[in-house]
């Protein structure tokens, strides 16, 4: 007479064990690198006075080895970057002749400002748009800003003129400024390098930049 072999009964999974397994999974997940969709957001700002535009980054987000010139502003909470014509931009009293000269290709400068607070507080009359970037996008933007300094092979650029404000300086910059490659073109290119879905081609004026960027800006 043959005996029927009984299969072992499945072990019941108790709720407490389920919770423990879920907790272990969660802890392991948190210890791993986050997926791309969970990447942290970093806010940067774009400012416009209706003519010039610039990019503002929190000082804490700037690695010192990426932009060593930021050390010139040790007390700044934010650092603002603007790019422009080497003669027209620093001029205290710009003339029509300088404006006409800026329309032709010529050397550029970077205007760097150390801001004591958020750009909307420092420049209350300016248009300020907040833009959220991923960590990777922020790194790409910082690389773009760093490459905009003309360091001439040195470790860091030396300021070549006082800035427009007591808390700013001008530095030699890479690139050639002209009518079709303005400060606003530079700002748009920086945003595009950071992964912002903005079409930089054809951006010449501050209004064109703001109109393209406003739908992409952070709304709180």
Domain ranges of the chain: 41-216
Q: How does residue 23 score in pLDDT terms, banded at 50, 70 and 90?
A: very low
> Taking 60 as the threshold, does the pLDDT of residue 3 lie above it?
no
Six-digit token string for 158? 């030396």
Cα–Cα distance between 217 and 50 in angstroms, integer?
17
Strands 41-48 and 53-58: antiparallel
Q: Do the Cβ atoms of 67 and 78 come closer than 8 Å?
A: no
User: pLDDT digits over 155-174, tens only?
Assistant: 999 999 999 999 999 999 99
Q: State mean pLDDT over 26-34.
A: 40
Whole-number pLDDT of residue 122: 97
Residue with more model confidence, 151 or 22: 151
Q: What is the pLDDT of residues 86-116, one digit of tens each?
A: 888 887 766 676 566 565 678 999 999 999 9
User: Alpha-carbon distance 42 to 56, whole Å?
Assistant: 12
**What does pTM read for this prediction?**
0.79
pLDDT at 21 over 60: no
């Amino acid at each position: 007479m043959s005996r029927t072999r009984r299969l072992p009964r499945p072990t019941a999974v108790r709720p407490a064990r389920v919770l423990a397994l879920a907790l272990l999974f969660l802890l392991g997940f948190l210890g791993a690198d986050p997926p791309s969709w969970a990447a942290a957001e970093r806010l940067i700002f774009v400012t416009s006075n209706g003519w010039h535009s610039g990019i503002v980054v929190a000082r804490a987000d700037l690695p010192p080895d990426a932009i060593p010139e930021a050390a010139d502003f040790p007390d700044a909470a934010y650092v603002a970057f603007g790019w422009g014509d080497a003669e027209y931009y620093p001029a205290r009293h710009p003339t029509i002749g300088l404006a006409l000269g800026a329309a032709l290709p010529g050397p550029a400068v970077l205007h760097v400002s150390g801001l004591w607070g958020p750009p909307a507080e420092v420049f209350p009359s300016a248009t300020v748009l907040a833009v959220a970037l991923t960590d990777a996008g922020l790194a790409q933007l910082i690389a773009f800003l760093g490459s905009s300094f003309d360091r001439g092979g040195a470790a860091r650029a030396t300021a070549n003129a006082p800035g427009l404000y007591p808390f700013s300086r001008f530095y030699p910059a890479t690139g050639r400024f002209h009518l079709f490659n303005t400060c606003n073109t530079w700002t748009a290119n920086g945003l595009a390098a950071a992964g912002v879905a903005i079409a930089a081609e054809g951006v010449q004026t501050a209004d064109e930049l703001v109109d393209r960027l406003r739908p992409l800006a952070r709304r709180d």
